[in-house]
Structure 1
Amino acid sequence: MTPEVAALIERIMSFEPKIQAEWDGLPGHARRHYLHRMVIDEIQATNEIEQVRSTRKEISEAIKVVRSEQPLATKRFAEMVRLYLDIGNDQAESPQTLDDIRAAYDAVTRGEIRDEDAPDGLRFRQGPVSITSGIKVVHTGVFPESAIDDALTLMLSQGRDDSIPRLIRAVVAHFIFEYTHPFYDGNGRTGRYLLALDLRQVLAPYASLALSATVADNKDRYYRAFSDAENPLNRGDLTPYLVDMLEIIAEAQHRLLLDLSERRRKIETLATRIQVLLEDEQFPLNVGLDRESAPPVVGDDIGEVLFTLGQAHHFDANRAVKLNTLADAVGRSSQFVRPRLRRLDDAGIIETVTRKPLRFRLTARGVSLLELDGE
């Protein structure tokens, strides 16, 4: 526990109340959209690190499947999305048994592991496995399976040791898992998911989802931390590895804080712009609606619709909002809101994205009206 390690832990924890304040300052719809975007970024980044092909659209579609409670087997990455959404919603727990680790692996890698790379032991792999740089072997996983069981049992045990700071436990557990390499394929994705789970015990749930994108940007340093720790001259000292990982976590926290702060600023600017439109003596003409047409236009109703769609423009990958969500924002029935949305559609402010379910988003004219251009 060097002064450098202590200072890094203090730095990471100092971000927590600031991140929490920015998060609490976002409206509910913005939080949900932002959480979805974080899950997309996290899964996309962890896949890229392992050179697994995936697109943001695929992951976004998987989120829709999970949210609609459709069978997860019908969509690629749906199970992985469910796991990360559970972290963001503070509903996931770290593994407590070896069977829990295997269950996490199965969920994270579902549909992505070739038959010849599937685990062939009781829980993990029976045979040896090596990682190569393309030129030489850089790491050999623990072998046989009984040794894998012992290593992961140690990982679980130290994870419950309250005499060790939680952040250190999480980072050391990540090293033990990756060093053990219990599977033929999928260790990296599973290990980073388990790290996010462990970090959730000490960081805000959504904060633990900010890691993989930062790891991807520091991939060389991330892998070098492992190789330096395994160097025989290092004699098993994990302190340098710990420092590298804590610095990466601190960077992830700093990025998250800056991003949340910027997005909160955008929401406040959006709210101010809508207020200006509603208080203008030309309303509703200034938003492209005449005063005589039915149904009648109420400023607060139109304001809530535009505010919700503006949040989606900033936060949601598809920038679209369901009819029922807009009705909830207005506090009226969907039957009440639908004809008013039709008037906004006729005015060119919004457009229909899908019909089943009915979803809307701002048009280019709507974006310009709310002064979101270039955002």
Structure 2
Amino acid sequence: MPYKTLKTIDYEAHHDSKTVGTEYERRIHNYGIFKSGLYPFLIDHQELSQDRRELFITPLREIAIACERIEYNSAELKSKLKELPPIAEELYLKKSLINEITTSNRLSGIAVRRTEVKAALDSINKDNQEQVRFAPMAKMYNKILEDDFQRIESFVDLRKVYNQLLFGLIEKEQMPDGAFFRNRPVSIKNDQQKIIFQLPGNENDLEQRLSNWLKFISNKNIPFMIKGLLAHGYFENIHPFYDGNGRTSRYILSLYLARKLDLVTGLNVAQAIYENRESYEKALLALGDQGNFAEGSFFINDSLSMIENRQRKIIEDLDVNIKQLSRTNKKIQQIYQINSPEYFVLNLLLQSKIFTDNQADGLLDREIVEISENSKHSKRAINLAIKSLEQKKQITTLKKNPFQHSIDIN
């Protein structure tokens, strides 16, 4: 017999309150249930309900299996990254970071180009970084690549993440007007920007809800995947800020999964949601639907499915890229010896071509020269090799200021 939402059971029982009430009591008192200590806003026909229920998870077989598969995929992703040369790995992770920031902003209805995010990432160590759009956000995400995992243990920590992540991206009138969070009602809109319901504004109430959230995320007696995803869904449900809730909660989940699983999975949270945004929105609404009595099992199951599917797609793409790198490298070795500067240049341009989404994101000539400083090749030898390869039409010029070349891998 399939496990159904309580709202479905209510419908099938022709809205017999005794039937659905009995099933709810059976679930909430079931052996092995995960109670969160979190009390989400519950919505009844687009109106805020006064019903107060604790968010809970039934330990379904599907959830346990999905968690195990995700950990298996994570181990495989770590193994795939180890197969990559260091430069290819760096380029691939940078590509993932750029795509994640771009997608997270697009999910929030923000117009953004990948070139903007790349420019922001390139500026993070420069003096004018705060003047570059998305640079503070790029800096925050880049900390994930540096294994600098920011801890969130207090309201101060949470507000600090919000301020740093969204610096320059939130309109002044949309900034929190309470000590840490919003203090007025907020309207929740769908993808078409239509208001579907409104949440109350009371910072004292939000502080209590987020105090419970902080306790929950530090609870070591709940499986980490369930904890991370439920914390994400609850944060979205209570909307502690006027604007930027989605981007903040996605960043926190990225941070968490990168630490608990691997960098690639962590840097694909927004992309997993984007590929399944309709089902994700439905799952999020179901989480706060009064008819489901604050059961989070289905939100967890749907979220796990999104992450697992994204992981499998990444693994398949990496397999193709790794094979292409090996195959083309063998062709290059038929023309140039491995210890030649020409091979050195072509090998780097090949990695750059395969492991970036856009040629403009690839290695510049000066970066190839910098990398060569750790090899036996001199700067002069590398520059001469680039000139020779261009004359032989084995590489082409993409731009001249600064110089950048590309290899034709066909």
Query: Please, what TM-score do these two structures have when normalized by structure 2?
Result: 0.79
Give, as a single letter, the amino acid of the residue that structure 2 aligns with 1:328: I
Q: Which structure 2 residues correspond to residues 1-375 of structure 1 after superposition, within 5 A?
A: 1-66=59-124, 68-133=125-190, 137-141=195-199, 143-278=201-336, 300-316=340-356, 317=358, 318=360, 319-329=362-372, 330-351=375-396, 358-362=402-406, 366-367=407-408, 372-373=409-410
Q: Which segment is superposed worse, 39-48 or 310-319?
A: 310-319
- Helix, strand or coil for the counterpart of 1:119? coil
CA–CA separation in structure 2 for the residues paired with 1:201 and 1:299: 38
CA offset digits 1:231-267 (Å, max 9, x no partner):
1111111111111111111112112211222221121
Give, as a single letter, the amino acid of the residue that structure 2 aligns with 1:129: V
CA–CA separation in structure 1 for the residues paired with 2:234 and 2:208: 11
Query: What is the percent sequence identity of the aligned residues?
Result: 25
CA–CA separation in structure 1 for the residues paired with 2:280 and 2:175: 26
Give, as a single letter, the amino acid of the residue that structure 1 aligns with 2:386: L
CA offset digits 1:171-227 (Å, max 9, x no partner):
111012111101111111111111111212321123211121121111111111111
- Helix, strand or coil for the counterpart of 2:335? helix
Give, as a single letter, the amino acid of the residue that structure 2 aligns with 1:302: E
CA–CA separation in structure 1 for the residues paired with 2:320 and 2:229: 29
Cα 1:262–1:70, aligned 2, differ >3 Å: closer, same or farther? farther
- Structure number with greater CO (CA < 8 Å, separation at least 6) is 2
CA–CA separation in structure 2 for the residues paired with 1:192 and 1:310: 33
Q: Which segment is superposed worse, 259-268 or 181-190?
A: 259-268
**CA apart distance, 1:137:** 4.5
- Helix, strand or coil for the counterpart of 2:404? strand
CA–CA separation in structure 2 for the residues paired with 1:277 and 1:344: 12
Are the counterparts in 1 of residues 149 and 259 from structure 2 also a CA contact under 8 Å?
no
Are the counterparts in 1 of residues 342 and 382 from structure 2 also a CA contact under 8 Å?
no
Give, as a single letter, the amino acid of the residue that structure 2 aligns with 1:333: S
Are the counterparts in 2 of residues 327 and 333 from structure 1 also a CA contact under 8 Å?
no
CA–CA separation in structure 2 for the residues paired with 1:61 and 1:137: 34
Cα 1:141–1:203, aligned 2, differ >3 Å: closer, same or farther? farther
Q: Which segment is superposed worse, 261-270 or 177-186?
A: 261-270
CA–CA separation in structure 2 for the residues paired with 1:61 and 1:104: 22
Are the counterparts in 1 of residues 100 and 268 from structure 2 also a CA contact under 8 Å?
yes
> Aligned-pair RMSD on alpha carbons?
2.1
Are the counterparts in 2 of residues 8 and 246 from structure 1 also a CA contact under 8 Å?
yes
Give, as a single letter, the amino acid of the residue that structure 1 aligns with 2:141: Y
Instruction: Provide the residue aligned with 2:10 in structure 1.
Output: none
Q: Which segment is superposed worse, 322-331 or 41-50?
A: 322-331
Cα 1:99–1:276, aligned 2, differ >3 Å: closer, same or farther? same
